[in-house]
Amino acid sequence: MTALGNPSADSGAAWWRGAAIFQVYIRSFADGNGDGIGDLAGVRSRLPYLRDLGINAIWFTPWYPSPMDDGGYDVADFRDIEPAFGTLAEAEALIGEAHALGIRVIIDIVPNHCSDLHRWFKAALAAGPGSPERDRFWFRPGQGEDGSEPPNDWQSRFGGPAWTRVTEPDGTPGEWFLHLYSSRQPDFNWDNPEIRAEFEDILKFWFDRGVDGFRIDVADGLVKDPALPNLADSGTISPFSDQDGLHDIYRSWRKIADSYPGERSLVAEMWLDDMSRAARYLRKDELHSAFNFDFLVCPWDEAKFRTVIENTVAAHAEVGAPAAWVLSNHDVTRPVTRYGRAGDTGFAFADRLHGTPVDRELGTRRSRAAALLAMSLPGGLYIYQGEELGLWEIEDIPDDLRQDPVFARTKGADPGRDGCRVPIPWSGTESPFGFSPDGAEGEPWLPQPESWVDYTAEAEGNDPASMLSLYRSGLALRASESALGDGKLEWHEHLDGVLSFTRDPGFACLVNFSAEPVPLPDHEKVLLASAELKDGLLPPDTAVWLRTR
Ligand code: NOJ
Ligand code: CA
């Protein structure tokens, strides 16, 4: 137990309102023991890198025991560590070491579903229809004379029906269970009080071990309309997203977070169309923040960015919560590829334009500008590992190496998300690029392209023009400029196609979305630019930070 050295224990300040938070996808971050899979030993060895990068906190994607059907989002035991990653004792040591470096720790909680290997799901299968064990999940008889049709028309977000039929203990084909994701991720029934009590206890288990917060997976999805109506009959209200009953759950979670010293924080993962609906979860007695995915999927267009930012700021102001800006994560195409491909705007396969031509140079240029934009907007910021190296999406992973269940569930139509999860290149001139120790037996669990030789943390750390150097400089200024982080912004009309705002005291950010270089407004000093200014002009696809007085 390591409340000791907890950075949030020694200050009451609401650190989460403006924090820069680095997302570690453990499997792909750093491999300590040489089996080709990232682990906690690897993370511990790279903590100095994260300190030097200048982030305030780490968010770890799920580190629990898991058969890894969905990269750990299929949790078999919420109170332990995946053996391939390490042990609970190592996790506790890691929390303490991060705290000692002034880095807070957020972990993922996955309350919508568990793994089919979770003890409760195994018990539900064994106990049979009508049992209290089955009531922890959504088991229902099938439709049709022999029950061979799913109970309703819901589809899995990974493709195919959201229902799978089980074989009963007596060997006959039996009930169906609900899974909004893969068939190895049964959904919990949150109308069952046992589920609520269990998760409250899990939160305490990890808060007691010093974690500073939770990222809540599928935060909009826990509560279902108990009638399980067909989607076709549901009108505009989703029977499995943004149901009113969710707010009570998060109010009780907030009370638990607030009962701990320091500012423990809860961040929601939810993709809701209506930002005002999402902001309702951020009322004072509910969650602290929620990822801003509208920003992530915004196409490269000045008016569109401005609209997203305005809507975000307005919706969050209604409830007094800070925004949380996101450019990438382990579920979406990497920004260099997205911005290098006109119109690549989303999570859904149809929006991703996988495999179509990419102008990587343009994508990199725009990613650099987007990074400075995101770092200078009011609120918190999330950075996904490898974003700071300017890595791009790897789209030619051989089919037989693909691991994302999306690939199999769509019968290969959607390649899935492996392309943004390739192990990080740290150093050296060939794979595993320092991801695994020298002489390691295991190959990285997904192949790294040779061209990453110029994109290792080591190579970029020595290059002042690299993406890593830009992130380091940006984050350092973000920490030292009192105008940045939490607060307000004011728009300025500069020139057509130029996004321009100021923040008090004395800071301005401009992003040139137009095709022509533009002059800068009056300023005292250029603090940082995402590309070289030419003759004092701001080139296209470039962002600049100015001190205005
Ligand atoms: C969102 C996570 O980010 C994603 O990786 C996962 O597949 C789904 N939730 C289901 O847990
Ligand atoms: Ca390993």
Ligand 2 centroid vs 503 CA: distance in angstroms?
44
Nearest ligand, measured from the Cα of 437:
2
pLDDT at 494: 79
10-63: pLDDT as tens digits = 444 899 999 999 999 999 999 999 999 999 999 999 999 999 999 999 999 999
Residue ranges covered by each domain of the chain: 7-111+195-470, 119-178, 488-547
Query: Tokens 């690939």 sit at which residue?
Result: 407
Report whether residue 218 contacts ligand 1, using a CB cutoff of 6 Å: yes
Report whether residue 31 contacts ligand 1, using a CB cutoff of 6 Å: no
pLDDT at 390: 98
Which residue among 218, 222, 291, 407 has the greatest number of ligand 1 atoms within 8 angstroms of its CB, and so is best to mutate? 218
Q: Which long-range contacts (CB under 8 A, 24 or more apart) does 130-137 make?
A: 134/175, 135/189, 135/192, 136/188, 136/189, 136/192, 136/194, 136/195, 137/177, 137/178, 137/186, 137/187, 137/188, 137/189
Q: Is 477 strand, coil or helix?
A: helix
Residue minimizing CA distance to atom 4 of ligand 1 = 331
Report whether residue 331 contacts ligand 1, using a CB cutoff of 6 Å: yes
Ligand 1 centroid vs 218 CA: distance in angstroms?
7
The phi-psi region of residue 161 (left if phi > 0; otherwise alpha if psi is between -120 and 50; otherwise beta) is beta
Ligand 1 centroid vs 71 CA: distance in angstroms?
9
191-227: pLDDT as tens digits = 999 999 999 999 999 999 999 999 999 999 999 999 9
pLDDT at 347: 65
Ligand 2 centroid vs 548 CA: distance in angstroms?
49
Report whether residue 73 contacts ligand 1, using a CB cutoff of 6 Å: yes
Which residue among 331, 382, 410 has the greatest number of ligand 1 atoms within 8 angstroms of its CB, and so is best to mutate? 331
- Based on its alpha-carbon atoms, the radius of gyration of the chain, rounded to whole angstroms, reads 23
488-547 CATH pick, 2.60.40.1180, 3.20.20.140, 1.10.3720.10, 3.90.1170.30: 2.60.40.1180
Helices (H), 128-274: 193-208, 246-258
Report whether residue 181 contacts ligand 1, using a CB cutoff of 6 Å: yes
pLDDT at 5: 44
Ligand 1 centroid vs 70 CA: distance in angstroms?
8
Q: Is 527 strand, coil or helix?
A: strand
Residue minimizing CA distance to atom 3 of ligand 1 = 331
Contact of 347 with 332, CB cutoff 8 Å: yes
Percent of the chain with pLDDT over 90: 92
Ligand 1 centroid vs 146 CA: distance in angstroms?
34
Query: Tokens 């800070």 sit at which residue?
Result: 322
Neighbours of 420 (CB within 10 A): 26
β-pairing, 542-547 vs 525-529, is antiparallel
**What's the CATH class of domain 119-178?**
alpha beta
Phi, psi at 512, each rounded to 5°: -95, 105
pLDDT at 3: 40
Report whether residue 253 contacts ligand 1, using a CB cutoff of 6 Å: no
pLDDT, mean of each 10-residue run, the chain (549 residues): 42 86 98 98 98 98 98 98 98 98 98 98 98 98 97 95 97 97 98 98 98 98 97 92 97 98 96 93 98 94 96 97 97 94 69 87 98 98 98 96 93 93 98 97 97 98 98 98 97 93 98 97 97 97 97
pLDDT at 8: 41
Kind and range of the H or E element at 233? none
Q: Round to whole Å and give the CA distance between 184 and 188.
A: 12
| Terminal Cα-to-Cα distance of the chain (whole angstroms) | 48
CATH match of 7-111+195-470 with 3.20.20.80 = yes
Asked whether the CA dihedral 295, 301, 304, 309 is positive or negative, the reply is: positive
| Ion ligand 2 residue ranges (Cβ < 5 Å) | 31, 33, 35, 37, 39
DSSP 167: E
